[in-house]
């Protein structure tokens, strides 16, 4: 008698267990995917000063860095498509930039200050139109052991005339 009653209950537990194990396996797999992918593709946002401070620990890591382009340093070979230039340190925090008078002022100050820390950048590809003196370069790439930053992608921001011409205090775009 007893066995007859406990049989279905045991079945029920075994059945539940089966589902929990299958579910846990899937959840574990998803967690594993998240952790391993995060580790392997994390990208560090750094300023020139921060990169210098971290030094060799950042070699060959995926890095996103921004700085002010120094116009005199731009060299470009249109046959081999090799572009190189120097960037000067600018603060990374928006609030700090605003406090120092906005992006244009910060960029101007950065390139005019001979004591600013600079970083040499090498990029293979077509020279972007917006690459010029006092532009903000936002780049992804990695730091080589030779201390040169090898960029894979360059994004440029210029405080354009367009924005300056806008009437003051219009909206907050």
Partner 1 sequence: MLANLGYGVLVITLLISLYGIAAAIQGARRKNTSWLDSARNAMLLTGPLVTLAVICLVVLLVNGNYEVEYVASYTSNSMPLYLKITALWGGQAGSLVFWTWLLSIFASAVTLRDWQRDREFLPWVIVVVLVTLIFFLGLIIFIENPFARLWEIPGGMIVKSMFPPSIAVLYTQTDGNGLNPLLRHPGMVLHPPMLYLGFVSFVIPFAFAIAALITGRTDDRWIRITRRWAIIAWLFLSLGIVLGSRWAYDVMGWGGYWAWDPVEISALMPWLSGTAFLHSAIIQEKRGMLKQWNMVLVILTYDLVIFGTFLTRSGMLSSVHAFAQSAIGPLFFAFIAFTFIASITLLLHRWDELKTEERMTSLFSKEALFLVNNLLFMGILVICFWGVIFPLLSELFTGQKVMVGPPYYEKATAPLFAALLLLMGIAPLAAWGHSNYKALGKSIRLPAIFVLLILIYAVIRGVKNPWALLGFGLCAFVMAVIVYEFWRGIRARQKIKGESFFKALWQLTTRNRRRYGGYIIHLGVVLMALGIIGIEMFQSETQGTIAQGEQLNLRGYTLRYDGLSIFDTTDGRNISRAVVSVYKDGKFLQELYPRRDYYYENQQQVTIPGVRSTWEDDLYVILIDWEPVSAEGATFKIFHNPLINWLWVGSIVFILGALIAAWPERDQSTVRNRVAKQNYSASEV
Q: Which stretches of the chain bind partner 1, using CB under 8 A?
A: 12, 15, 18-19, 22-23, 26-27, 29-30, 33-34, 36-38, 40-46, 62, 64, 78-79, 81, 92-94, 125-127, 129, 140, 160-162, 166-173
C-alpha dihedral over 43, 48, 52, 56, to 10 degrees? 30
Nearest approach in angstroms of CB 77 to partner 1 is 10
Q: Which is nearer to partner 1, 35 or 105 (CB)?
A: 35
**What is the signed CA dihedral for 157, 163, 169, 172, rounded to 10 degrees?**
-40
Cα angle, residue 145 at apex, residues 143 and 149 outer, rounded to 5°: 25
Q: How far is the CB of 166 from partner 1 (least distance, A)?
A: 8
Min dist. Cβ of residue 22 to partner 1 (A): 6
Cα dihedral sign for 160, 165, 167, 171? Answer: negative
Of residues 115 and 161, the one with the C-beta less far from partner 1 = 161
Strand, helix or coil at 9? helix
4 vs 169 by CB, closer to partner 1: 169
Q: How far is the CB of 27 from partner 1 (least distance, A)?
A: 7
Q: How far is the CB of 60 from partner 1 (least distance, A)?
A: 15
Name the residue nearer to partner 1 (CB basis): 49 or 62: 62
DSSP letter string over 97-149? HHHTTHHHHHHHHHHH-TTS-EEEEEEESPPPTT--TTPEEEEEEEE-TTS-E
Neighbour count for residue 93 (Cβ, 10 Å): 9
Tell me if 141 sits within 8 A of 153, measured CB to CB. yes
Q: Which is nearer to partner 1, 61 or 112 (CB)?
A: 61
């Amino acid at each position: 008698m007893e066995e007859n009653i406990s049989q279905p209950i045991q079945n029920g537990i075994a059945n539940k267990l089966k589902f929990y194990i299958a579910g846990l396996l899937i959840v574990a797999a998803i967690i594993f995917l998240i952790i391993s992918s995060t580790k392997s593709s994390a990208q560090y946002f750094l300023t020139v000063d921060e990169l210098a401070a971290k030094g060799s620990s950042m070699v060959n890591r995926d890095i996103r860095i921004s700085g002010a382009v120094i116009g005199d340093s731009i060299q470009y070979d249109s046959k081999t498509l090799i572009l190189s230039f120097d960037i000067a340190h600018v603060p990374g925090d928006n609030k700090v930039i605003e406090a120092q008078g906005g992006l244009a002022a910060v960029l101007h100050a950065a390139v005019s200050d001979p004591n600013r820390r600079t970083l040499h950048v090498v990029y293979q590809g077509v020279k972007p139109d917006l690459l010029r003196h006092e532009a903000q370069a936002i780049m992804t790439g990695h730091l080589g052991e030779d201390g040169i930053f090898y960029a894979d992608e360059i994004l440029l921001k210029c405080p354009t005339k367009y924005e300056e011409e806008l009437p003051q205090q219009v909206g907050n775009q």
